[in-house]
Structure 1
Amino acid sequence: MGGGGQQREEGKTDSGKAGGVYTWEDVQSHCTKTDQWVVINRKVYNVTQWAKRHPGGFRVLYHYAGEDATAAVMKDFQDLYVKAESQGMFRTRPLFFILHLGHIILLEVLALLMVRYFGTNWIVTLLCAVMLATAQSQAGWLQHDFGHLSVFKKSYWNHVVHKFVIGHIKGASANWWNHRHFQHHAKPNVVLKDPDINMLNLFVLGDSQPVEYGIKKIKNMPYNHQHKYFFLVGPPLLIPIFFHLQIIQTMISRRYWVDLVWFMSFYIRYFYCYVPLYGVIGATALLFFVRFMESHWFVWVTQMNHIPMEIDYEKHQDWLTMQLQSTCNVEQSFFNDWFSGHLNFQIEHHLFPRMPRHNYYLVAPHVEALCKKHGIPYQTKTLWQAFSDIVT
């Protein structure tokens, strides 16, 4: 199918039987939630019904409705993918994830024992909150690994442990995370399609949206001051307020009862441990403070790789170009790897989302060489520069 829409392609129904030939105009007209066609390997598929059962959520295929959804990558990248597989870069080191889970559990146990042994004065409470926030943040990176099916060979065990980590250890929903995060990977930094840049009219991101909002004189918020109120609304409130309410609403409205049970198990465990020490109000305040600190950690790390990059409406770019233009890296160090859950290798994560994160450093030089060969920007920043670029 050519860009001019003159060439024709074999059409496919859901059952795979030939259904005719179509022009690009034919395909592009089927781009609604109730009528979705996509092109994969130059064949046209009606995915309207299957989209509802897509493991990444119904919106993932909808974002590609009327488009070519083939993983349109350069031959060099395809060769690199094969090379990475042959060199064992997709092979998991179980000890890495065992130790990672172990240090999360250890932090939680030590925090509780410290309060029980030394009392609930403000110094001990502050140390307890810092340890719990660290455990929660690290658990966030760990659930991300299982959510991407990058730990176990069988998807089933990734899903099971994912529900345990995000549900019982963090008090969130696996399905809510999957449906949100997979949209991000499908269309990173694409306005109206990537939920990570859908700021509910609180912030106007990128180069085109601020101009557009200025021309239309949309006055929902004082956007010319967003770099100031960002510090009061964004990092501190995303997890304890916005995400928490969205998770509850999603689980109930979509009937994710298994996720709800895991979600409740976290709160039962937490309040069972801390209400005898702080009372109901005190334990609730402590948890909110933990979420408050975790939220700062989460926002700065997750946004340092994307917010400073290109943010725009759908341009129908090929998959590889879209991933590279919307991501950048932060330099490697033991602290940066641990602090960011290896999301300092954001480029490699987006190109190889199922690769165990402890192998990103192995494939990174190959990706950088590929980008250099084809004149594609490959940005690596210091952690401080990455944080300051968010504000800029």
Structure 2
Amino acid sequence: MGQDQSVRSAQIPAAKVIYIQGKAYDVTTWSRWHPGGSLVFEHWAGKDATEPFTAFHPPAVRDRLKSLEVQNSQAPSNAPKASLRLQQLSLKLHLDGLFCTSYWFYAKTFLWAAGLLSLGIWAATCARPVVAALAVALFWQQMAFVGHDAGHNAVTHDRWVDGILGLIVTSTVGIGISWWKHTHNVHHTCPNSVDCDPDIQFMPIIAVDEAYFTSLHSRHHDATLTFDRTARRLISYQHFTFLPLLMFAKWGLYNESCKQLLFKRAYIDRKAEVCAQVLFFCWYFLLAAQLPTAGSRAAFILLSHAAFFILHLQICLSHFAAPTFLGTPQAEEGWLALQVQGTINWSCPPWLDWLHGGLQFQIEHHLFPRMPRHNLRKASPHVQALCQELGLPYHMPSFFGAIQETFVRLRKTALLARKAVLD
């Protein structure tokens, strides 16, 4: 690992027993049905999971755990001060109404997205492929933000209703809600773990840490991330290829979404999600067909996907430059420390919040994933003050500063890759 990285090692216990508020729960059987996936239990098995449980679930879910309780089992200790202060802050934000959704906000968001799609349709029928492509790409980005909110049950706070909203987003963006839930919940529970977090595992084309030069085993994919001659060559120039690669990233998400539905668990009704995926490709290629020539249709398809790179860039900026670690989260360090150490905010004026979709307040979102994104800006000063009180980092460069930090990190790892010795 690099000298400036915060690296920790840990082992995943074999038993899937978690501890919540001093009580033990055997989730071995239940984990396969868990709406957030089973991998999150593997990363928190044998540990005090009170904080991640509270972050992801409303209080009513606690009552459903009684049938899983293990009697006469003592919970491990957690970081008392940070945990207590974070709990106090969470209660204050609840009382201040920051977990309440403004449906007017989402009404405006849908109107804005509908306007973008209408512009794309108009431009396509008027043989203006560039305008159509840019409008559709921005439409995708805005709808993806809604899908992200719905996936966290942060819109209506009703899992079934937000699931339906997720299917609607799948039909407009083409990114499967089941694939998203399979990867994103794991990412939240172990942000920037080189072997557990799928959001930083992009071998053999991108490596954010030299730990990947050892052909690391991915616990998420249950596969070895091989570092060979081809990987070393690609990673050696990743700081130059990073942005161009993002222009093709959406094609990879189609592939991952389809594989999830064909071979893995469906977190929403499988038939409904398949229909949503098919509907997306139908309307999208029908729109492309409105353009008069094969060249203009190809330009529209390529440019709309390339312009979608802005969302992938925003996602990468949130974590690529932050410190990484090896293994599973250490509960004694606390949920607050885990999230702020592996996550980066960036500053922007309020009038640009629509462009970043809440991703600019990634720290607050990771701490309170059920908080509607239109309230994250209000929560930010409180979180910043708490981090200052506890001596924890709260990193918030400008948007372009975050891009620069990501470039520096990728360049540093690229130079190390050129010197790395193959096994």
TM-score using structure 2 length:
0.77
Shift, 1:157, TM fit = 1.2
User: Which residue number in structure 2 is paired with residue 224 of structure 1?
Assistant: 236
Query: What per-residue deviation string (whole Å, max 9, x for no partner) do you get for residues 195-244 of structure 1?
Result: 101113322213x5167579x984333233222232343x122212x211
User: Which residue number in structure 2 is paired with residue 237 of structure 1?
Assistant: 248
Match among 118, 122, 132 for residue 128 of structure 1: 132
Match among 198, 208, 211 for residue 209 of structure 1: 211
User: Which residue number in structure 2 is paired with residue 299 of structure 1?
Assistant: 312
Which range is displaced more, 98-107 or 316-325? Answer: 316-325
Q: Any conservation in 2 of the 1:205–1:307 contact (CA below 8 Å)?
A: yes
Shift, 1:158, TM fit = 1.2
Match among 112, 115, 118 for residue 109 of structure 1: 118
Change in CA separation of 1:278 and 1:37 when aligned onto 2, cut-off 3 Å: farther
Structure 2: segments with no counterpart, 5+ residues: 1-10, 52-77, 217-225, 409-423
Q: Any conservation in 2 of the 1:251–1:257 contact (CA below 8 Å)?
A: no
Q: Distance in 2 between matches of 1:385 and 1:155?
A: 37
Q: Distance in 1 between matches of 2:228 and 2:296?
A: 41
Which range is displaced more, 56-65 or 366-375? Answer: 56-65
Shift, 1:103, TM fit = 0.8
Instruction: Read off the aligned partner of 2:198 and give its amino acid letter.
Output: P
Instruction: Read off the aligned partner of 1:69 and give its amino acid letter.
Output: A
Match among 171, 175, 184 for residue 178 of structure 2: 175
User: Which residue number in structure 1 is paired with residue 101 of structure 2?
Assistant: 92
Match among 285, 300, 304 for residue 286 of structure 1: 300
Query: What per-residue deviation string (whole Å, max 9, x for no partner) do you get for residues 315-360 of structure 1?
Result: 5243221101011211131354122102111111111111111111
Change in CA separation of 1:335 and 1:307 when aligned onto 2, cut-off 3 Å: farther
Q: Name the larger-Rg structure.
A: 1
Alignment of 1:252-267 (within 5 A): 252-254=262-264, 256-267=270-281
Identity among equivalent positions (%) equals: 27
Q: Any conservation in 1 of the 2:129–2:291 contact (CA below 8 Å)?
A: no
User: Which residue number in structure 1 is paired with residue 256 of structure 2?
Assistant: 246
Match among 253, 264, 287 for residue 273 of structure 1: 287
User: Which residue number in structure 1 is paired with residue 203 of structure 2?
Assistant: 200
Which range is displaced more, 245-254 or 219-228? Answer: 219-228
Alignment of 1:360-379 (within 5 A): 360-379=376-395
Match among 139, 143, 147 for residue 143 of structure 2: 139
Q: Any conservation in 2 of the 1:336–1:342 contact (CA below 8 Å)?
A: no
Shift, 1:58, TM fit = 2.0
Change in CA separation of 1:279 and 1:179 when aligned onto 2, cut-off 3 Å: farther
SS of the equivalent of 2:136 reads: helix
Q: Any conservation in 2 of the 1:336–1:383 contact (CA below 8 Å)?
A: no
**Does structure 1 residue 68 correspond to structure 2 residue 63?**
no
Shift, 1:36, TM fit = 2.4
**Does structure 1 residue 355 correspond to structure 2 residue 371?**
yes
Match among 21, 31, 35 for residue 41 of structure 1: 21
Q: Any conservation in 2 of the 1:271–1:283 contact (CA below 8 Å)?
A: no
Alignment of 1:150-161 (within 5 A): 150-161=154-165
Instruction: Read off the aligned partner of 2:205 and give its amino acid letter.
Output: L
Instruction: Read off the aligned partner of 2:96 and give its amino acid letter.
Output: Q
Shift, 1:40, TM fit = 2.9
Q: Any conservation in 2 of the 1:275–1:282 contact (CA below 8 Å)?
A: no
Q: Which has the higher contact order (CA 8 A, sep 6+)?
A: 2
Q: Any conservation in 1 of the 2:130–2:299 contact (CA below 8 Å)?
A: no
User: Which residue number in structure 1 is paired with residue 401 of structure 2?
Assistant: 385
TM-score using structure 1 length:
0.83
**Does structure 1 residue 83 correspond to structure 2 residue 86?**
no
Aligned length: 351
**Does structure 1 residue 148 correspond to structure 2 residue 161?**
no
Change in CA separation of 1:372 and 1:139 when aligned onto 2, cut-off 3 Å: same
User: Which residue number in structure 2 is paired with residue 20 of structure 1?
Assistant: none
Change in CA separation of 1:138 and 1:40 when aligned onto 2, cut-off 3 Å: same
Q: Distance in 2 between matches of 1:191 and 1:158?
A: 31
Q: Any conservation in 1 of the 2:132–2:300 contact (CA below 8 Å)?
A: no
Query: What per-residue deviation string (whole Å, max 9, x for no partner) do you get for residues 244-285 of structure 1?
Result: 111111111136322111111112222333324346785465
Q: Distance in 2 between matches of 1:30 and 1:182?
A: 19
Instruction: Read off the aligned partner of 1:36 and give its amino acid letter.
Output: K
Instruction: Read off the aligned partner of 1:190 and give its amino acid letter.
Output: S
Q: Distance in 1 between matches of 2:285 and 2:316?
A: 31
User: Which residue number in structure 2 is paired with residue 313 of structure 1?
Assistant: 326
Instruction: Read off the aligned partner of 1:144 and give its amino acid letter.
Output: H
Instruction: Read off the aligned partner of 2:311 and give its amino acid letter.
Output: F
